[in-house]
Structure 1
Amino acid sequence: MVIDPGIHHDARGEAIEPAIQSRVLRIGQPTQRWFHHALLLLRGNIHLARGESPVTITGPAFAFFPPSKEEVLTVAAGSRGYLVGASPEIIGDAIGDHAESAALRVFSAGFSVNDALTSASLREMTPLFEGTLAELATEGRGSRMVVAAYMRLILMTLWRLQHMPAEEERLASTGSILQRFRQAVEIGFRRHRSIAAYAAELGITTDRLHAICQRTLSRSPIELVHDRLVQEAKQRLERSARDVQEIAYSLGFRDPGNFSHFFKRKTGLSPARYRAIAIQKTSSVPVPTASDYHDWP
């Protein structure tokens, strides 16, 4: 097993033990600004300050928080639970490329709370949070693979409780085809699948898929796939410590040179230059993707 000595730059975990006074947890501060967080509240209350829409969570409950600046949790006296957080890199590894991955990625991008947990749900989730904390706390351990595996199980459990897929969403309307194409791209964009393969999976011709994308989004299918790839590359360059070569391989490029050429063609900047601008935050050069993946229907 590979042990990552820098695992605490990519993951965190803590047990919320009962106390005689309230305490404040700031989960949107550096170095955890980009972390996703999952909370399992066994008992007690937690007040969440979310701009003009504060939320009070009463246990037993779970909550999932996407990255958010200056998120503040006020834990009431006597509360007990678990809080785990992970970087986008670990969340990406946890989501992976599977049938459920598209739904998990959409779920992980939003804030959610479920305060109607059953005792069976608590028995299912508690070992997952405890296992994550043990992996991070035990000396001589700290595997990214293990933490990602726990995060995958946590995400799957939360999503099943919150969002079970409906068969009627697969009706063959234009909007449904685009949604299914989006999900297929989410699963397969790192494998650099052909547009013909996507169309075959959707049960339509390549020409029809092209016509739907052009008519609805004014983009071709290959442009949408490339936009998703560029978006992921930008996120990894901004938020990951991995070098450009590792990022290229993780995105399915066999040759890092091809990745650099692709990225510069799409953004006007080399990967190294883009990362330098993102880190320094001193440039006003706009480098957006041609179409935001999240603007899809």
Structure 2
Amino acid sequence: MTTYNLEVLNQYKTHLHEEERSQNTIQKYLRDLRTFLVFTDGQELSKLAVLAFKEHLITAYAPASVNSMLAAVNGFLEWLGFPQYKVKQLKIQREIFSKPEKELSQREYQRLIQAAEKKNNRKLALLIQTICATGIRVSELRHITVSALHTGRTTVSCKGKNRTIFLPKELCRNLKHFCKEQGIQSGTIFLAKTGKPLDRSNIWRMMKNLCKDANVEPSKVFPHNLRHLFARTYYKIEKDISRLADILGHSSINTTRIYTIETGAKHARQIDRMQLVLGYRSVT
């Protein structure tokens, strides 16, 4: 990657900040663009170069990841003034069932909390419950403050939008006890040893350490899956996807639908009960 490319990326980073993109989005875009620039290896930008990168991605990544990376490149090309070099994303049929090996159940969620408690990691146990009981994003955890425990709600700002997140009464009580034990009198509750808010990598690593004791597959254990469990649980009760989209802070209901899909086990039971297959009669 040349100095020129690095300079351009820094300028584009400033542009993304001015567009009020979230920090996580900016980091992701820049990471994808570095991958693109390494692949093109200093050659002149052209439609053929972008198409070659697209073909490379198809052989190395899942379709959803390919589209995500192409979105980053297309946005960059638009900003550079080369919209003619943009390429089409892959057409992906929307999945109506999730993969069982990825879906975290309520029982597994409870076992993770119990495993954290057995390890005397009260902080992690409460952190897991806070994410799952509110549907909050990891990047928004800094808004879970001591003052929020007294009002039972907190206001978060993400992607230029503000929304109110309500905290269950039992969660507030438990967090108040924790703050009293830890001498936390004000500010953000969940902090790293450095004094900064815990980030996704910190939480991911701590949660993975619970998998063996909780008897939960590691593929199911990551912070964002707690948000998915919140969404599925809420939707089972309310069946109001528009309201759920507002609660999660989604600008599109299509994104929320991804959160509410299930493994298909219920659908399999339903079609069995339809009894539309006759018994097999052998010919003797």
Q: Do both share a fold (TM > 0.5)? A: no
TM-score band, normalised by the shorter chain?
under 0.3
Could you state the TM-score of these two structures normalised by the residue count of structure 2? 0.27
Pick the structure with greater CA Rg.
2
Greater RCO, 1 or 2 (C-alpha within 8 Å, sep 6+): 2
Which has the larger strand fraction?
Answer: 1
Could you state the TM-score of these two structures normalised by the residue count of structure 1? 0.26
